């Protein structure tokens, strides 16, 4: 197949495909199988390509010959054309129309700002189920033209497109299940509400890294607009009031929430954040990516009661009253001192005696290191003996032999004694034995 002069100037889809999957690039026969073409085929040696094609960062700006694309790509189901130079929907439609089984299409990072998609061409997307348009700056009119001609579209990605508003479509896309629209400039819930009207079957809504400042709708409205929403991602949004978290309960099927990096939670510790969120969201079974166990939920709800029970009545959240009716008023938790336990002992080395504070959670090996440094002993080994002052006449010294054993297991008390005995290297060698 000889490229035309136009194709030589342009980086066509078919030219890049031929270069990447040329048999000469696979001298050992791996990756590509060359099939003989039927008589009369415009392609001399038809390449049997993988069904998933990745042609990103290839400088593609034109489609090339439609019949060649069809001959190469009749079985292709996934196509990644991200980070290319496609700026004409007609060229994209030529490619897509020649791949009849295309299921996934990624056009991210192509310069499509201001490029209009004619409705008469959009039918070529009819079989696409996953469409990625990140950082293309496509207009909402183009988005609606695509969705109105993709009756099987299930997942749509519109990240990094600088949207600060949503233009509502007059025709819904009932097949869409997932909308990812992260890293835009959406701030007003009134814009997000429009997704419910346009995508009534929406199950997953990813709004991370927007400036969304509220969730402002009644229970009746949210139930009507988002009847199937199961997962919402609000990471790094601008939510600053607990009432916006409470309103998430109005989504009738919501079971997974992500809400990290929001202003509301900044004053709390990590543990407090999770407990307070969990207690406010009784139907959620996955929070911030972590599955919620029944035990964790009960602990969080009890924490919630104790956290708020000293607040004035007018400041108590609604959830507090329902949890008190479930568990009753709870006594404050007893304060437990979890600081490391220490005890004072006398450490004796020959005639030298030092008063030393021991951390009882450390091991015998740790103690040996501590004492060798304290007493400035050489690197030779030492033996340690524990002397119980009260029982020494009965028990005698007990050697601390096990290096991994914790000191508290010996029941060492204030005033007891640790005897340090340096090990002496034997002067006998094995040959003398």
Q: Which residues of 250-270 are buried (b: 16+ CB within 10 A; e: fewer)?
A: bbeebebbbbbebebbeeeee
Residues in the chain with pLDDT < 50?
A: 1-2, 5, 7, 28-46, 428-433
pLDDT given at position 334:
57
- Within 10 angstroms of residue 279's Cβ, the number of other Cβ atoms is 23
pLDDT given at position 415:
86
The pTM (predicted TM-score) of the whole model is 0.73
pLDDT given at position 380:
75
Nearest to 260 by CA among 208, 189, 211: 208
Among left, alpha and beta (phi > 0; psi -120 to 50; other), residue 407 is: alpha
pLDDT given at position 275:
96
pLDDT given at position 404:
87
Strand order in the sheet with 417-422: 352-359, 342-349, 417-422, 382-387, 398-399
pLDDT given at position 32:
47
Contacts of 310 (CB under 8 A, 6+ apart): none
- The dihedrals phi and psi of 271, each to the nearest 5 degrees, come to -65, -45
Q: HEC string of the chain? A: CCCCHHHHHCCEHHHHHHHHCCHHHCCCCCCCEEEECCCCCCCCEEEECCCEEECCCCCCCECCCHHHHHHHHCCCCEEECCCCCCCCHHHHHHHHHCCCCCCEEECCCCCCCCCCCCCCCHHHHCCCCEEECCCCCCCHHHHHHHHHCCCCCCEEECCCCCCCCCCCCCCCCCCCCEEECCCCCCCCHHHHHHHHHHCCCCCEEECCCCCCCCCCCCHHHHHHHCCCCCEEECCCCCCCCHHHHHHHHHCCCCCEEECCCCHHHCCCCHHHHHHHHHHHCCCCCEECCEECCHHHHHHHHHHHHHHHCCCCHHHCCHHHHHHHHHHCCCCCCCCCCCCCCEEEEEEEECCEEEEEEEECCCEHHHHHHHHHHHCCCCCCCEEEEEECCCCHHHHCCEECCCCCCEHHHHCCCCCCEEEEEECCCCCCCHHHC
pLDDT given at position 162:
97
**Domains by residue range for the chain, with CATH:** 162-327 (3.80.10.10), 342-422 (3.10.20.90)
- Within 10 angstroms of residue 168's Cβ, the number of other Cβ atoms is 13
- 311-353, pLDDT tens digit by residue? 887 678 889 999 999 998 887 765 555 555 688 888 988 888 8
pLDDT given at position 233:
98
- Separation between Cα atoms, residue 257 and residue 289, nearest integer Å: 8
- Separation between Cα atoms, residue 139 and residue 93, nearest integer Å: 17
């Amino acid at each position: 197949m000889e490229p035309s002069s136009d194709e030589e100037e342009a980086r066509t889809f078919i030219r890049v495909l031929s270069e990447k999957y040329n048999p000469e690039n696979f001298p050992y026969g791996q990756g590509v199988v060359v099939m003989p073409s039927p008589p009369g085929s415009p392609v001399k040696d038809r390449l049997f390509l993988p069904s998933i094609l990745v042609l990103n960062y290839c400088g593609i700006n034109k489609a090339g010959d439609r019949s060649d694309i069809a001959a190469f790509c009749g079985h292709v189901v996934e196509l990644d054309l991200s980070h290319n130079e496609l700026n004409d929907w007609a060229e994209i439609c030529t490619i897509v129309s020649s791949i009849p089984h295309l299921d996934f299409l990624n056009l991210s990072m192509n310069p499509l700002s201001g490029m209009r998609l004619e409705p008469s061409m959009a039918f070529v997307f009819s079989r696409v189920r996953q469409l990625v348009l990140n950082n293309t700056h496509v207009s909402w009119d183009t988005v609606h033209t695509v969705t109105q001609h993709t009756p099987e579209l299930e997942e749509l990605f519109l990240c990094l497109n600088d949207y600060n508003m949503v233009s509502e479509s007059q025709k819904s896309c009932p097949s869409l299940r997932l909308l990812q629209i992260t890293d835009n400039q959406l701030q007003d819930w009134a814009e997000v509400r429009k997704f419910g009207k346009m995508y009534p079957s929406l199950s997953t809504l990813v709004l991370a890294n927007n400036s969304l400042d509220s969730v402002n709708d009644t229970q009746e409205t949210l139930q009507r607009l988002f009847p199937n929403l199961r997962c919402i991602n609000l990471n790094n949004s601008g939510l600053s009031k607990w009432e916006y978290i409470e309103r998430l309960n109005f989504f009738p099927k919501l079971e997974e929430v992500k809400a990290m990096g929001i202003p509301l939670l900044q004053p709390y510790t990590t543990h407090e954040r999770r407990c307070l969120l969990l207690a406010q969201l009784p139907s959620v079974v996955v929070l911030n990516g972590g599955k919620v166990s029944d035990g964790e939920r009960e602990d969080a709800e009890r924490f919630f009661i104790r956290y708020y029970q000293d607040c004035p009545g007018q400041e108590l959240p609604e959830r507090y009253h329902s949890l008190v009716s479930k568990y009753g008023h709870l006594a404050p938790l007893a304060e437990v001192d979890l600081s490391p336990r220490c005890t004072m002992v006398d450490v004796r080395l020959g005639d030298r005696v030092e008063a030393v504070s021991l951390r009882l959670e450390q091991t015998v090996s740790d103690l040996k290191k501590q004492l060798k440094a304290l007493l400035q002993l050489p690197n030779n080994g030492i033996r340690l003996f524990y002397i119980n002052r009260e029982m020494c006449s009965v028990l005698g010294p007990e050697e601390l032999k096990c290096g991994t054993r914790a000191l508290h297991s010996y029941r060492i008390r204030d005033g007891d004694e640790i005897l340090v005995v340096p090990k002496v290297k034997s002067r006998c060698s094995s040959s003398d034995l």
